[in-house]
Amino acid sequence: MKERRMSIREFLKRFDRGDFDSKDVNVQIEAGWWDWFCKDSALRNKTYYLAKKLKSLLPSPKIDIDKTYVWFKNNCLVSGKLYDDFRISDLKTGDVLYTIIPKDPTAGNKAAVWGYENDFSEPLVVGSWKDVVHFFKSKR
């Protein structure tokens, strides 16, 4: 399968238009799913949940929606616990700029942001979703 990257602007336009309403796994892959351990049928609801989280971060001085794209992962810890994240990557290079975890089981189910600012050496934010929004809305 050939990867097709779409800007966050295009993703949001298509999301709002209902292009990703189907539970069909190919539609969800087109929406940005890259890797998952959950049932294929769960991806649609996860797309909606994560897209709403993404929308709450915008507009942001840290995210250029024309030069970045979003992709989604459903991760599995060694313990078997599943959790979701979404990643903001550079459209040209594919480099991940941010990994955003709405409920990180390794951080007491708090929200977490990892990013390029510190080479992903530790979280940039651990706290409530409001803390994550504040991070992305602030200029620093």
Single-letter amino acid, residue 26: N
- pLDDT band for 115, please (50, 70, 90 cuts): very high
- pLDDT band for 80, please (50, 70, 90 cuts): confident
Give the model confidence (pLDDT) of 44-65 as tens digits: 999 999 999 999 999 999 999 9
| DSSP secondary structure letter of residue 124 | S
Which is nearest to 58 in space by CA: 4, 18, 100?
Answer: 100
Percent of the chain clearing pLDDT 70 (strictly above): 97
Strands 96-104, 82-90: pairing kind:
antiparallel
Write down the pLDDT at residue 139.
83
Write down the pLDDT at residue 135.
98
- pLDDT band for 81, please (50, 70, 90 cuts): confident
At residue 66, the 3 state secondary structure works out as: coil
Distance CA 55, CA 60 (A): 10
> How crowded is residue 28: how many other Cβ atoms within 10 Å of its Cβ?
21
